[in-house]
C-alpha cells in the first residue's frame, strides 16, 4: 500500500469512531452512557486547556476555577433567575471567557512555574468564594440544578444527555480544529515556540495570550455549565486544586498541543479507572503505575506516540520534532 | 529619501555602554552595511531598531515616524523585518507554517470567522498559502514546505528565516550575519540572492556581517562601529582605507581573523 493511499485513509478512523459513538447507546447500559457523557465534559475542558497550555505554552492550574465559574453561573441563572437553559449555558460560557481574559492580563508578566502558581492561587480563591458567597452559591450546602430543557424537550435521561454532549463536544472539537489551522492558531503556536520571533513577525503577545486565556476559559466554562445540568448538583468541594491537576494531567498524558491528545487523555483519565474497577483495592495502584509508565515511555503523550509511530512505520505525516516540555 | 534614521542612539547594560551615541541613516533602496569587531554593538543596535531593547537615549525614525518606543510587533507591522544572529525559527512548526506566521498581519479575519471556517477565511488562507509557496520557490525552498523547521539543516534554516522575514512584506530588512556558517561558494550565492531580493521586493537592507568580502561587494554604504561608537562611514572603498578602521580590526584579533 503506497503512502498516498494511506494518507487518503486518514479520515477512515474518524468515520468509524463517529458511527460507533452514534450507535453506542443501542448496545450499552445507562451507566456506560453516563461515563461517556462525563468523558465528553472532560474532553471539552481538555480542548480548552490544551489551546492555552499545549498550543500557546501558558501553563494553567486555574481551570477548576473556570469550570466552577461556568457551573455556578449556569446554576444560578437557571435556579434563581429562571433563565431558559440555552441562555444559561451560553451566558455562563461567555462570562467565564471574560473572567479568563481578565485573569490573563496580570498573568502576562508570568510564565512557566510562576504562572502555574498564580493560576493555582486563582483556583483557591474561587473555591473559597463559592463557600463564602452563600447568598448566591448556597455555600457548603451546594446547589441543586434541574435538568436542562430546550423548547419543552427535557434532557433528563442518560440517553438524551449523551447525545446532547456528543453534539456539543463534537462541534467544539471542530471549532478548535478550525482555530488551530488558521491565523489565530499559528499565532498561538508561534508564541509557544519562540516569543521573540513571534513578536518580530508582528504577533502582539499580550493580545494573543489574553485571547488564549479567554478561549480556553470559554471551553471550560461551557463544560462546567453543561456538567451542572448533567449532574444536577453542585458541591463546592469538587472544584478544588485537585481538579485542576486532573485537567492538566489529561493534556500531558494525551499530548500537549494536540486535539487528538485532548480526547485520548480524557479517555485515559475517565475510562481507565472504570476498566480497573474490578481490581478492587489494587485499582489506585495499577492506575498510578500505568500513569507513570505512560509518561516515561510516551513523553509526548499518547498522541505524540501515535504520531511518531505513524511516521516511522507507515510514513504518514511528517517527522515530528521534540517540542519543548512544559515549564521551559 | 531617508528610510531609517538613527540619531544619537545609546544603550547601557549596567556599566557597559553597548551603544554610545550612534547616528546613521539609510537611504531608500540601498544596502547599508554595519560592521565592527565582536561586541561592537551591532546586534544591540538591531535590537533597538526592532523594539526588543529600549534605548537609554536617542531617537529612531522610520519614514518620518518616530518608532523609538514602539513594541517589536508594532514595528514589524510598520514594515521592518529582521533575522536573528542565532536562527530563531518556530522549530516544531512546518517550514510553510513558519512563513505563514509572517502573513499574520496581512490577513484580515476575525476569530469568530476563523472558528467557523467561513468562506472568506478559507479564501484568505488559500491566498496566503499560494504567496508563501511562491516565496519558497523563489528562495529555492521547494520540497521542504511540510518538513518540520527544527529538523532542517542549518543552511535551509537560515534561508527559511530569511523567507519568513520577506513574507512580512517589509520595506526595510535587517539581517544579522546571514552568511555565518556558510562556506565561500554559499556566501557568493547569498550575495547574489540579496541583490536580487533588494531589486525584486524594492527593499532597503541593513546588513551586519563579518565577511568583509561580502560586505565590500554588495554594500552601497558602510557604517563601522567599535566599542559602541561610530568610527567611520562611507563607501566600501573609503571605509577599507580608513586608518581608524584598520586600527580597530588589527587591535582585535578575532575580528581580523574573520577577514
Ligand atoms: N542583553 C545584554 N546584557 C548585557 N550585556 C549585553 C547584552 N547584549 C549585549 N551586551 C553587551 O553589549 C556589547 C555589544 O554587544 P552586541 O551583541 O551588540 O555586539 P555585536 O557587535 O553584535 O558583536 P558580535 O559580532 O559578536 O555579534 C557587548 O559588550 C555585549 O557583551
Ligand atoms: Mg551580534
Domains of chain B, first to last: 1-79+170-259 (3.40.50.300), 92-168 (no CATH)
Mutate to test the interface with B, among A178, A182, A188 (most CBs of B within 10 A): A182
pLDDT tens by residue, A41-61 = 999 999 999 999 999 999 999
The C-alpha atoms of residue A66 and residue A216 are separated, in whole angstroms, by: 9
DSSP code of B182? Answer: -
The C-alpha atoms of residue B60 and residue A298 are separated, in whole angstroms, by: 50
| CA distances, B127 to each of A186, A190, B130, B134 (Å) | 16, 20, 5, 11
Q: What is the pLDDT of residue B256?
A: 42
Q: What is the pLDDT of residue A4?
A: 63
What is the ipTM, given to two decimal places? Answer: 0.92
Number of A/B CB contacts below 8 angstroms equals: 112
| CA distances, A322 to each of A172, A326, B158 (Å) | 28, 12, 20
| CA distances, A325 to each of A60, A75, A108, A317, B23 (Å) | 14, 37, 20, 22, 43
Counting ligand 1 atoms within 8 A of each CB, the residue from B11, B16, B54 with the most, and so the one to mutate, is: B16
Mutate to test the interface with A, among B43, B70, B115 (most CBs of A within 10 A): B115
Where do we find the cell 510564565? A111
Return the ligand number nearest the Cα of B38: 1
pLDDT tens by residue, B189-198 = 999 999 999 9
Average pLDDT over residues A305-314: 84
Grid cell listed for A164: 446532547
The C-alpha atoms of residue A65 and residue A72 are separated, in whole angstroms, by: 10
Confidence of residue A5 (pLDDT cuts 50, 70, 90): low
The C-alpha atoms of residue A52 and residue A60 are separated, in whole angstroms, by: 8
Q: If 0-12 CB within 10 Å is exposed, 13-18 middle and 19+ buried, where does residue B121 land?
A: buried
Return the ligand number nearest the Cα of B248: 1
pLDDT higher than threshold 70 for residue B234: yes
- B48 neighbourhood in chain A, CB within 8 Å: none
Decide if B72 and A182 are in contact by the 8 Å CB cutoff. no
pLDDT higher than threshold 80 for residue B105: yes
pLDDT above 90 coverage of chain B, percent: 85
pLDDT higher than threshold 70 for residue B259: no
DSSP code of B252? Answer: S
Q: Which residue has the higher pLDDT, A239 or A153?
A: A239
| CA distances, A93 to each of A98, B39, B123, B175 (Å) | 9, 53, 30, 46
Identify the three-state secondary structure at position B175. strand
pLDDT above 90 coverage of chain A, percent: 66
Which of A113-122, A217-226, A312-321, B55-64 bottoms out in mean pLDDT, i.e. has the lowest? A312-321
Neighbours of A4 (CB within 10 A): 8
Distance from the Cα of residue A252 to its chain's centroid = 12
Identify the three-state secondary structure at position B224. strand
Neighbours of B27 (CB within 10 A): 13
pLDDT tens by residue, A125-146 = 999 999 999 888 888 888 999 9
Interior CA angle at A273 toward A270 and A279, to 5°? 170
pLDDT higher than threshold 70 for residue A173: yes
Average pLDDT over residues B200-205: 95
Decide if A318 and B81 are in contact by the 8 Å CB cutoff. no
Q: What is the pLDDT of residue A322?
A: 57
Q: Could you tell me the pTM of the whole model?
A: 0.92
Contact residues of ligand 1, CB 6 A cut-off: B 13, 16, 18, 36, 38-44, 85
Which residues are found with C-beta within 5 Å of the ion, ligand 2?
Answer: B 42-43, 85
pLDDT higher than threshold 90 for residue A294: no
8 A C-beta contact, residue A212 and residue A101: no
8 A C-beta contact, residue B141 and residue B95: yes
Amino acid at each position: 500500500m503506497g503512502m498516498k493511499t494511506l494518507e487518503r485513509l486518514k479520515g477512515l478512523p474518524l468515520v468509524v469512531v463517529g458511527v460507533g459513538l452514534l450507535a453506542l447507546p443501542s448496545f450499552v447500559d445507562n451507566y456506560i452512557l453516563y461515563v461517556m457523557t462525563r468523558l465528553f465534559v472532560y474532553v471539552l475542558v481538555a480542548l480548552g486547556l490544551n489551546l492555552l497550555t499545549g498550543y500557546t505554552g501558558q501553563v494553567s492550574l486555574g481551570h477548576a476555577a473556570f469550570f466552577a465559574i461556568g457551573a455556578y453561573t449556569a446554576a444560578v441563572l437557571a435556579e434563581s433567575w429562571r433563565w431558559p437553559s440555552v441562555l444559561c449555558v451560553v451566558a455562563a460560557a461567555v462570562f467565564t471567557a471574560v473572567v479568563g481574559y481578565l485573569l490573563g492580563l496580570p498573568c502576562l508578566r508570568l510564565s512557566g512555574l510562576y504562572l502555574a502558581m498564580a493560576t493555582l492561587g486563582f483556583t483557591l480563591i474561587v473555591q473559597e468564594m463559592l463557600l463564602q458567597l452563600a447568598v448566591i452559591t448556597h455555600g457548603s450546602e451546594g446547589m441543586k440544578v434541574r435538568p436542562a430543557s430546550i423548547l419543552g424537550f427535557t434532557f433528563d435521561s442518560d440517553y438524551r444527555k449523551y447525545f446532547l454532549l456528543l453534539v456539543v463536544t463534537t462541534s467544539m472539537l471542530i471549532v478548535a480544529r478550525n482555530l488551530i489551522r488558521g491565523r489565530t492558531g499559528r499565532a498561538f503556536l508561534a508564541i509557544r515556540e519562540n516569543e521573540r520571533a513571534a513578536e518580530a513577525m508582528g504577533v502582539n503577545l499580550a493580545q494573543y495570550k489574553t485571547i488564549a486565556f479567554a478561549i480556553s476559559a470559554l471551553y471550560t466554562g461551557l463544560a462546567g455549565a453543561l456538567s451542572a445540568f448533567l449532574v444536577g448538583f453542585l458541591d463546592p468541594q469538587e472544584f478544588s486544586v485537585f481538579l485542576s491537576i486532573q485537567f492538566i494531567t489529561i493534556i500531558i498524558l494525551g499530548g500537549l498541543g494536540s486535539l487528538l491528545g485532548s480526547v485520548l487523555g480524557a479517555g485515559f483519565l475517565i475510562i481507565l479507572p472504570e476498566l480497573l474497577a474490578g481490581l478492587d483495592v489494587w485499582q489506585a495502584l495499577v492506575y498510578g503505575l500505568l500513569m507513570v509508565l505512560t509518561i516515561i515511555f510516551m513523553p509526548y503523550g499518547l498522541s505524540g506516540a501515535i504520531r511518531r509511530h505513524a511516521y516511522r512505520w507507515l510514513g504518514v505525516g511528517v517527522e515530528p520534532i521534540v517540542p519543548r516540555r512544559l515549564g521551559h | 529619501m531617508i528610510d531609517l534614521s538613527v540619531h544619537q542612539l545609546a544603550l547601557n547594560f549596567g556599566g557597559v555602554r553597548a551603544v554610545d551615541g550612534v547616528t546613521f541613516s539609510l537611504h531608500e533602496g540601498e544596502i547599508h552595511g554595519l560592521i565592527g569587531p565582536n561586541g561592537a554593538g551591532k546586534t544591540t543596535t538591531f535590537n533597538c531598531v526592532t523594539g526588543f531593547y529600549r534605548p537609554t537615549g536617542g531617537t529612531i525614525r522610520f519614514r518620518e515616524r518616530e518608532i523609538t518606543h514602539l513594541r517589536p510587533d508594532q514595528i514589524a507591522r510598520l514594515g521592518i523585518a529582521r533575522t536573528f544572529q542565532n536562527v530563531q525559527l518556530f522549530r516544531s512548526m512546518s517550514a510553510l507554517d513558519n512563513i505563514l506566521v509572517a502573513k499574520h498581519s496581512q490577513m484580515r479575519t476575525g476569530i469568530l470567522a476563523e472558528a467557523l471556517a467561513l468562506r472568506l477565511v478559507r479564501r484568505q488562507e488559500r491566498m496566503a498559502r499560494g504567496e508563501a509557496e511562491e516565496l519558497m520557490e523563489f528562495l529555492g525552498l521547494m520540497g521542504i514546505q511540510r518538513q518540520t523547521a527544527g529538523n532542517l539543516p542549518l543552511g535551509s534554516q537560515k534561508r527559511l528565516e530569511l523567507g519568513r522575514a520577506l513574507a512580512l512584506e517589509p520595506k526595510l530588512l535587517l539581517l544579522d550575519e546571514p552568511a555565518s556558517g556558510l562556506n565561500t561558494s554559499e556566501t557568493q550565492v547569498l550575495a547574489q540572492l540579496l541583490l536580487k531580493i533588494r531589486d525584486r521586493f524594492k527593499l532597503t537592507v541593513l546588513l551586519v556581517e563579518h565577511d568583509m568580502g561580502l560586505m565590500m561587494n554588495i554594500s552601497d554604504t558602510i557604517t563601522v562601529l567599535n566599542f559602541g561608537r561610530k568610527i567611520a562611514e562611507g563607501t566600501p572603498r573609503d571605509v577599507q582605507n580608513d586608518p581608524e578602521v584598520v586600527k580597530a580590526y588589527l587591535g582585535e584579533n578575532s575580528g581580523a581573523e574573520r577577514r
